[in-house]
Amino acid sequence: MFKEIAQIIAEQFGVEVDSISMETSFEDDLGADSIDIVELSMALEDAFEVGEMSEDDLGNISTVGDLVQYIQSHTEGE
């Protein structure tokens, strides 16, 4: 799942997929702002068929690892 998420992040932020790790920070490493995060969340909602991510959920996600855990917890059992 990490590889799929990393690929989407790489496309959204125009970075090499190899530069993304579980510790990559959206704000510090990728320079993401709130609009970038919303656009990313929409791409992930489509790709993984998770429900709409709330502002609270997005506020708790600061690294790629946080995002992977969120997606995994919302797709288990499917």
pLDDT at residue 77, as a whole number = 57
Q: Which CATH superfamily is domain 2-75 in?
A: ACP-like (1.10.1200.10)
pLDDT tens-digit readout, 20-76: 999 999 999 999 998 999 899 999 999 998 888 888 888 899 999 999 999 999 887
pLDDT at residue 3, as a whole number = 95
Give the end-to-end CA distance of the chain in Å, rounded to a whole number.
Answer: 14
And the tokens for 48? 């993984």
Q: Which residues are catalytic?
A: 33
CA 39 – CA 23 distance, rounded (Å): 20
pLDDT at residue 49, as a whole number = 87
pLDDT of residue 16 exceeding 60, the answer is yes
Residue with tokens 């288990």: 76
